[in-house]
Structure 1
Amino acid sequence: MQAAFAPLRHSTFRALWIANLASNTGLWIQNTGAGWLMTSLAPSPVMVSLVQAAAMLPVFLFALPGGALADVLDRRRTLIAAQLWIAAAGLLLAVLAALGLLGPWGLLALTFAIGAGTAVIFPAWAAATPELVPHEDMVQAVALNGVGFNLARALGPALGGFVMAAAGAAAAFALNALGFLALLWALVAWRRPIPPRSDLPPERLPSAVRAGLRFAIAVPAMRAAILRACAFFLFASAVWALLPLVVRDRLGLGPAAFGLMLGVAGCGAVAAGVAMPMLRERLTQGRLVFFASLLAYAATALLGLASHWAPAAFAMLLFGAAWLAAGSTLGVAAQLTSPTWARARALGVYHLSFFGALAVGAMLWGWVGTRAGVPMALVLCAGAGALAAVAVRPWRLDGSAPGTAASRVKGLPDVPLPLPKAPAPTFADLLHEDSGRLLEAVHYRIDPVDRAAFLAAMREVRHVRMRTGALVWRLYEDVAQPERWTELWAVESWTEHLREATRLDEADRTALARAAAMHHGDEPPKASRHLNVDPC
C-alpha cells in the first residue's frame, strides 16, 4: 500500500495531482451531463455515441502537434494556455445550456472544443511528470496519474448524475469549468526549473512534429505500445459509448444510476491502481496488458447480457479495474521509452493512437448498436476484442528502451566517435535551418572475419540515427574491397544535424562507440557531411 502512494510525498507532484483530480472530476461531470443530455436532445445510438467521439476525436487530431508544442515551448505555460481554453469552452457550454440555446450539434461542437484543450494537456502533463518525481518513483507516479483519473471517474459521474437530476445540465457544465480553474491555479503556483539554454534556434512546429513521428516509428517498444493501445482501446471504447443506453433502455434507470455505474468503474480502477505495484512484480508488462484485456472483454460481454443493475454494476467494477491495469501499463511503456527531448511529442503520437482508437471505436460500436441492438453490439465487441488481444500479443512492450542498463555494453574501451571536419568558411551563409537536406557519411574499415558482428552493431547504430532525427539510413559495402563500408543517413537541415548531438544519451553513444571500435586503422572512421545541391 505504501509503495502505491510513494510519489505523493513530493510536494509539487502532490499539489498538481490533487488539482488534476479536481479538474478530471469536473471533466467527468461534463461528460456524464453531455452523454445524458444527448439522450434527450437526440436519443439515437449514433448521436449518443458521437458525444464520446467528439470528446476523443480532437485528441486524435491535435495530440501530436500539442505534444510538439510542449517540447518546443515551456510546458508549464502550454498547460496554462490549454486550461484557459477549456475553462472558457466549459463556461460557454454552461451559459448556453442555462439559456436553453444548446442543441445536439452545439453540444457536440463545444464537447469537441473541450477535447481540443485536453489534446494539449495529456502529452504535456505526461511529459512533465518526470520533472516532479525522482526516477525511482516515476513508474508509480504514472500509475498514480491513472488512479487519479479513475478516482475522478468514480466521483465525477456519480456527482454529475445527481447534479443533472437536481439542477440540470447547466449546473453540471459549470462545475466542469470550476474544476479546470482549480488546476489552472496550481499550474500558476508551480515554479518549474528553467531548462538549460541552447545555442540552437527553437524547433519549428512542423519539424518537431516530424521528428516525433520518426522517433515513434523507429523505436520498436514505442511501436508495440501504440499497436497494443489501438487494439485495446478500439474495443474497450464500446462500454463508454453505449453505457448511457444500457442504463436507460436495458436497465430502465435514470441519470443518477448512470453516474453511479461510472462511479463503480472508477472504484474498480482505483483498486487496480493500488494493486499495481504487486502486479508488476509478478507479471511482465506484456502479460499484464494481455490478461487485463481479457478481463475487460469478459466484463463487456457480461454488461451486454445483464438485465439487472447488480450484474451490470459488477461488470463495470471489473471493467474499471481492467481499464486501469491495461491503460496505465501501456502508458508507462510509452513514457519510459521516450527520451527527454522527444517525450511530449512521442507521447503525443501515443495519445493520438489511443484516443483515435477510442473515437473510431465509439462510432463503430454506436453504428453496430443501431443495426444489431446494444446488447448484441457489446457481446460482438467482447469476442472481437479477445481475438485482437491474442493477435497483438507477440509485440513486446518490455524491450530495452534507450538509456536503460540493458542496452549498454559493459567493458567497452573508451573509443572516440567519428567527427567530421569543420565546414569551409564559404558555406557559412548556407548552413542554417533552411539549408535543405544534409547527407552524413561515416567510412569504416572492417576485418572481413568481423562482418557478422559489425552488421549486428550497425543495426543498433541504425536505431540511434533514426531515433535522433534521420530521414533515411543506409549501409553500403564496397564490392571491390570488402573491408570498406560506408554508412549514409540524411537529415532535414543543418540545424537538425546539430540537434543530433544533443539528442544522444549514454546508450546511444555506447552503440556508436561499439561500431567505431571495430574499425581498423590508426585514426577513427572518417566522417563527412554533404549539403544537397540542385544542379538545375
Structure 2
Amino acid sequence: MAVPLPRAFSPLRHRVFRTLWLATLASNTGMWVQNTGAGWLMTSLDPSPFMVSMVQAASMLPVFLLALPAGALADIVDRRRFLIGAQLWMLLMAALLALLAATDALGPWGLLAITFGIGAGTAINFPAWAATTPELVPRDDLVGAVALNGIGFNLARAVGPALGGFAIAAAGPEAAFALNAFAFLLLIVALIAWRRPPDRRNTLPKEHLVGAMRAGLRFVAASPAMQAAILRACAFFLPAAAVWGLLPLLVRGQLGLGPEAFGLMLGVMGASAVGAGFVLPFLRARMDRGALVFRASLVVALAMGLLALSEHWLPAALSMALYGAAWIAAGSTLAVSAQVAAPAWVRARAIAIYQLSFFGMMAFGAALAGWIGARFGVAPALAAASLGGMAIALAVRPWRLDPAAAREGGGAAAAVPVPEAPAAELEKLLGERSGRVLEVVRYRVDPADRAAFLDAMREVRRVRLRSGALTWRLYEDVAHPERWAEFWAVGNWTEHLREAQRLTDDDLAALARAAALHRAEAPPEASRYLNVPP
C-alpha cells in the first residue's frame, strides 16, 4: 500500500512537475553554493561592507533591469526553449567564474560583473519558470505547487550554503563555482527531456515584444490584486534584504568565525524555512494571506534585531532560524498571491513585473544596508532594518492580498454585449495594420440605478484596460440621463480579437453586472469603428 505524500508535497505526484522540480532543486542548490563562494571571496578581495553587500546587489539588480522583457518573451515564444537558453547562459557564466577563480585572475569588479551575468540568466529564467508551473499541475494543485517551489528554493538554501562553505574550505571558491556549473547542466538535461505540448488554442499572430511589454504593464496598472501583491512584497523585502548584504561581515567580524560557519548559518535559515513550509498549509487554513505576511514581517524584523545584538553563534543561529521561517511564510504567500492574480495569457509578464519590483527592492535594500554598515557598523545597520521593517509592515497592512468576495446580485446572468460581424467589404482592412479600433457599448440605465451603474463601470474600466484597451471613457447624454456610452480603443484589429481570449470568468461576470443594469427590450448595443485617416 502506497504511503500518501504529506499535504505540502502532493503536487509531486505529477511526473513532469516532479522531474523539473528536482532538477530545479539541484540548480538552486548550485546557485546558493555560488552565492556563498562569491560572498566569501569578496571578503578577501575587498572586505569593505559596501563591496561585500554589492555581491548580493549584483545578483539581484539584473532582475530589476531584465524581468519585464524576459517575461514578455516567455509569454510569446516557446517557453521550453527559452528556459534552456537561459540555463545555457548561466552555465557559461558559472564555468567562466570557476576558471578565473582557479587561475587567480579574478578581481573584485570582475567578480561583480560575472555575478551580474549569472543574475541576468536568473532574471530571464524566473518569470518563465513561474509561468510554466500552471502547465505542469492541475488548477487544484497550483497553490501547492507554487508553495512547493518556495520550499524547494529554501531546501536548496539549507543545503547549498553549507555545501558551499565546506567546498570553499576544502578546495577554494573555484570549487563552489564549478559545482554551480554542474547543477545548471542537470537542469538543462531535464528541460531537454520535457516534451511540452504545443498550444493550439491561440490562432492569432504572436505578439511583438514591445507590445507584449505594454500589455503586461497595462494589466498590472488595472489589477488591484497584482498591485497589492507588488506593494506588500516591496515592503517586506526592502528591509529584509539587509541580512543578505551583511551576514558575511557579521559572521567574519562580529562573530569571528570562518566560511564553514557562514555556510551553516545560511543552512540553519534554509532548514528552518523548509520546516516552516510543512506548517504553511495549516497556517493558511487559519488566517488570510495579508495577516500571514504581516506577522511574518514582524518576525523577520525581530530576527534582524536579535542578530544585531548577537556576539555568539548560538543566538545568531536562533535569529537565522526565525528569519528563515518567516521568509518562506511571507515569500511563498506573496508568490501565490501574484500567481492567482494573473491569467494565463499575461502570467509571465505579470510575474516578471512582480519580481522586478521586489528584486529591485532587495538590491536597493542590500546596497542601503551596506552603506549604513560602512558608516555606522554592521549591528546598527541591522537594527535600523529591524525598526524600519516593523514601521513599513504597519504602513502597508491595509492593502489586501485576498480577493474580494463576489458581489451579490443577478448581474452575472445577464448577457455580455456582442457586436455585429464585420462587413465583408471591410474584412481585407482588418489585421495588425488596421490602425486603432474604437469600440462602443450603449446602455439605457434607470436614473435611480445611476450610482450602482457607475460602481459597476469602475470595474468594467479595469477589465477593458487589463484586456488591452489603450484608452477608456464613459459618457452620459446630457439631454437623456438614462443614455450612456462606453468608449475604448485598442491598437489594431488583432489586438481587438485578443481581447476576447484574455477575458477571464471574473472579467465576464463584471461585464455582465453592468449589462444587467441596462433597461430596454434589446440588449446593450455594441459596435466597432475602424480608424480611417483623412
Q: TM-score, normalised by structure 2?
A: 0.96
- How is 1:59-458 mapped onto 2 (pairs within 5 angstroms)? 59-400=63-404, 406-407=405-406, 411-412=410-411, 415-424=414-423, 427-458=426-457
- Any idea what SS the aligned residue of 2:526 has? strand
- CA shift, 1:290, in A, is 0.3
Over residues 444-482 of structure 1, what are the superposed CA-to-partner deviations in whole Å (9 max), with x where a residue is unaligned? 111212212222221221121122111222211111110
Q: Does structure 1 residue 518 correspond to structure 2 residue 517? A: yes
Cα distance in 2, alignment partners of residues 412 and 387 from structure 1: 42
- CA shift, 1:233, in A, is 0.5
What amino acid does structure 2 have at the position aligned with 1:242?
L
What amino acid does structure 1 have at the position aligned with 2:389?
G
Over residues 149-207 of structure 1, what are the superposed CA-to-partner deviations in whole Å (9 max), with x where a residue is unaligned? 01100100000011011101111101001101111111111122221243311000111
Cα distance in 2, alignment partners of residues 408 and 498 from structure 1: 28
Cα distance in 1, alignment partners of residues 380 and 412 from structure 2: 63
Aligned partners of 2:102 and 2:174 also within 8 Å: yes
- CA shift, 1:2, in A, is 1.5
Cα distance in 2, alignment partners of residues 77 and 132 from structure 1: 16
Cα distance in 2, alignment partners of residues 74 and 107 from structure 1: 32
- CA shift, 1:238, in A, is 0.2
Which of 11, 16, 26 is residue 22 of structure 1 equivalent to? Answer: 26
Corresponding residue of 1:403 = none
Corresponding residue of 1:497 = 496
Aligned partners of 1:408 and 1:510 also within 8 Å: no
- CA shift, 1:96, in A, is 1.1
Corresponding residue of 1:476 = 475
How many residues are matched?
Answer: 530
What amino acid does structure 2 have at the position aligned with 1:82?
A
- CA shift, 1:424, in A, is 4.4
What amino acid does structure 1 have at the position aligned with 2:125?
I
With 409-418 and 101-110 compared, the bigger mean Cα shift is at 409-418
Over residues 483-534 of structure 1, what are the superposed CA-to-partner deviations in whole Å (9 max), with x where a residue is unaligned? 1001111222222111001111222222222222322333222222233455
Change in Cα spacing, 1:124 to 1:407, as seen in structure 2 (3 Å) is farther
Over residues 408-433 of structure 1, what are the superposed CA-to-partner deviations in whole Å (9 max), with x where a residue is unaligned? 76755754432333444564454332
- Any idea what SS the aligned residue of 2:486 has? strand
What amino acid does structure 2 have at the position aligned with 1:199?
T
Corresponding residue of 2:486 = 487
Aligned partners of 1:63 and 1:349 also within 8 Å: yes
Aligned partners of 2:412 and 2:509 also within 8 Å: no
- Any idea what SS the aligned residue of 2:185 has? helix
- Any idea what SS the aligned residue of 1:487 has? strand
- Any idea what SS the aligned residue of 1:509 has? helix
Over residues 368-401 of structure 1, what are the superposed CA-to-partner deviations in whole Å (9 max), with x where a residue is unaligned? 111111100000110011000000000000024x
What amino acid does structure 1 have at the position aligned with 2:491?
E
Cα distance in 2, alignment partners of residues 244 and 473 from structure 1: 52
Cα distance in 2, alignment partners of residues 159 and 514 from structure 1: 57
Cα distance in 2, alignment partners of residues 71 and 172 from structure 1: 34
What amino acid does structure 2 have at the position aligned with 1:236?
A
Aligned partners of 2:39 and 2:55 also within 8 Å: yes
Aligned partners of 2:97 and 2:174 also within 8 Å: yes
What amino acid does structure 2 have at the position aligned with 1:40?
S
Over residues 201-247 of structure 1, what are the superposed CA-to-partner deviations in whole Å (9 max), with x where a residue is unaligned? 10001111111111111111110000010011011000011000000
Cα distance in 1, alignment partners of residues 403 and 107 from structure 2: 49
Aligned partners of 2:34 and 2:177 also within 8 Å: yes
Cα distance in 2, alignment partners of residues 238 and 186 from structure 1: 35
Corresponding residue of 2:526 = 527
With 411-420 and 222-231 compared, the bigger mean Cα shift is at 411-420
What amino acid does structure 1 have at the position aligned with 2:79?
R
With 138-147 and 234-243 compared, the bigger mean Cα shift is at 138-147
Which 5+ residue runs of structure 1 have no aligned equivalent? 401-405
Aligned partners of 2:66 and 2:120 also within 8 Å: yes
What amino acid does structure 2 have at the position aligned with 1:216?
V
Cα distance in 1, alignment partners of residues 100 and 309 from structure 2: 38
Cα distance in 1, alignment partners of residues 522 and 215 from structure 2: 33
Cα distance in 1, alignment partners of residues 221 and 412 from structure 2: 31
Over residues 43-83 of structure 1, what are the superposed CA-to-partner deviations in whole Å (9 max), with x where a residue is unaligned? 11111111000000001111111111111112111111111
Cα distance in 2, alignment partners of residues 392 and 379 from structure 1: 20
With 76-85 and 420-429 compared, the bigger mean Cα shift is at 420-429
Which 5+ residue runs of structure 2 have no aligned equivalent? none
What amino acid does structure 1 have at the position aligned with 2:518?
H
Cα distance in 2, alignment partners of residues 106 and 119 from structure 1: 20
Change in Cα spacing, 1:413 to 1:268, as seen in structure 2 (3 Å) is closer
Cα distance in 2, alignment partners of residues 280 and 29 from structure 1: 31
Aligned partners of 2:410 and 2:516 also within 8 Å: no
What amino acid does structure 1 have at the position aligned with 2:390?
A
Cα distance in 1, alignment partners of residues 530 and 141 from structure 2: 45
Over residues 329-387 of structure 1, what are the superposed CA-to-partner deviations in whole Å (9 max), with x where a residue is unaligned? 00000001110111111101100011111111111111111111110000011001100
**Could you tell me the percent identity over the aligned residues?**
66
Aligned partners of 2:476 and 2:483 also within 8 Å: yes
Q: TM-score, normalised by structure 1?
A: 0.96
- Any idea what SS the aligned residue of 1:282 has? coil
What amino acid does structure 2 have at the position aligned with 1:521?
A
Cα distance in 2, alignment partners of residues 413 and 319 from structure 1: 45
